[in-house]
């Protein structure tokens, strides 16, 4: 799928318009969350981690921080469950930690809808079919998120991502945005079983059962 095709230009225009409006509308909430994180967890307020974007190009999405940087006696970061704060759980429950990514949409790193951007270190681990998820811009939400969010296996998630690449339309995007709002309200599938977040992708044939 060409990033400069007519359909993609329309999608990009919709992304920019909606992201700009959302940033203005949510600016008081963004400020409130930022101040609260600063008071509860200290600095930094934002969390940025290298992810793979369109065609696998690296970028750093901006999210609100939900975990502390607490370490053990050897200087190693504690597990996600041990570092997750009550504030962080609340922010993730309602996907409020995702709001700063509207900026990434404005600058062109993200789309509102698309396969979720995953760690750049996963790039060598994908099969050729799974790597097709990078044929479109990644999104804040996507087809896999509304069909299980984090509570599905990696292989199924990648199948859903590629399905989206092959079936994308503005109508589908609108449907996904609507379904996303319902998912946020119910909190369905926020974490993978046994994890406070999605378990790490180890490569095909190497995932835990």
Average pLDDT value for the chain? 89
**169 vs 82, more confident:** 169
| pLDDT(2) > 60 | no
Going by their DSSP bridges, the two strands 111-113 and 62-64 should be labelled as unpaired
**How far is 19 from 103, CA to CA, in rounded Å?**
7
**How far is 78 from 84, CA to CA, in rounded Å?**
10
Of 18-27, 70-79, 81-90, 123-132, which gets the smallest average pLDDT?
70-79
- Please give the model's pTM, rounded to 2 decimal places: 0.86
| pLDDT(18) > 50 | yes
Average the pLDDT over 108-137 and give the result.
96
The ranges assigned to domains in the chain are 6-186
| Dihedral over Cα of 25, 27, 30, 36: its sign | negative
Query: Three-state SS for 206?
Result: coil
- Please name the residue that has the structure tokens 């299980």: 148
| pLDDT(19) > 90 | yes
> Quick one: how far is CA 96 from the chain centroid?
12
pLDDT tier, 209 (very low <50, low <70, confident <90, very high otherwise): very low
Query: What is the pLDDT, as a whole number, of residue 8?
Result: 83
> Quick one: how far is CA 23 from the chain centroid?
17
- Taking only the tens place, the pLDDT of each residue in 69-122 is 888 778 787 877 788 899 999 999 899 999 999 999 999 999 999 999 999 999
Instruction: Show the DSSP H helices in the chain as ranges.
Output: 6-41, 80-83, 86-93, 101-107, 154-167, 170-186
Give the burial class of 137: count Cβ atoms within 10 A of its Cβ; 0-12 exposed, 13-18 middle, 19 or more buried.
buried
Q: Are 156 and 128 in contact (CB under 8 A)?
A: no
Going by their DSSP bridges, the two strands 139-141 and 111-113 should be labelled as parallel
């Amino acid at each position: 799928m060409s990033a400069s095709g007519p359909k993609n230009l329309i999608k990009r225009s919709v992304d920019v318009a909606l992201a700009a409006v959302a940033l203005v509308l949510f600016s008081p909430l963004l400020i409130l969350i930022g101040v609260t994180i600063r008071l509860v967890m200290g600095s930094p307020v934002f969390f940025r981690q290298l992810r793979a974007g369109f065609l696998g190009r690296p970028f750093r999405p901006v999210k609100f921080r939900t975990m502390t940087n607490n370490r053990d006696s050897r200087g190693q970061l504690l597990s996600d469950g041990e570092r997750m704060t009550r504030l962080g759980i609340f922010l993730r429950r309602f996907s409020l930690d995702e709001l700063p990514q509207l900026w990434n949409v404005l600058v062109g790193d993200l789309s509102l809808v698309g396969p979720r951007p995953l760690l750049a270190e996963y790039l060598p681990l994908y099969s050729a079919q799974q790597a097709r998820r990078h044929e479109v811009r990644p999104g804040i939400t996507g087809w896999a998120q509304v069909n299980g969010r984090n509570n599905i296996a990696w292989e199924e998630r990648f199948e859903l991502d590629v399905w989206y690449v092959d079936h994308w339309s503005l109508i589908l995007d609108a449907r996904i945005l609507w379904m996303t709002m319902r998912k946020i309200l119910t909190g369905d599938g926020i974490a993978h079983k046994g994890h406070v977040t999605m378990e790490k992708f180890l490569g095909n044939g190497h995932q835990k059962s």
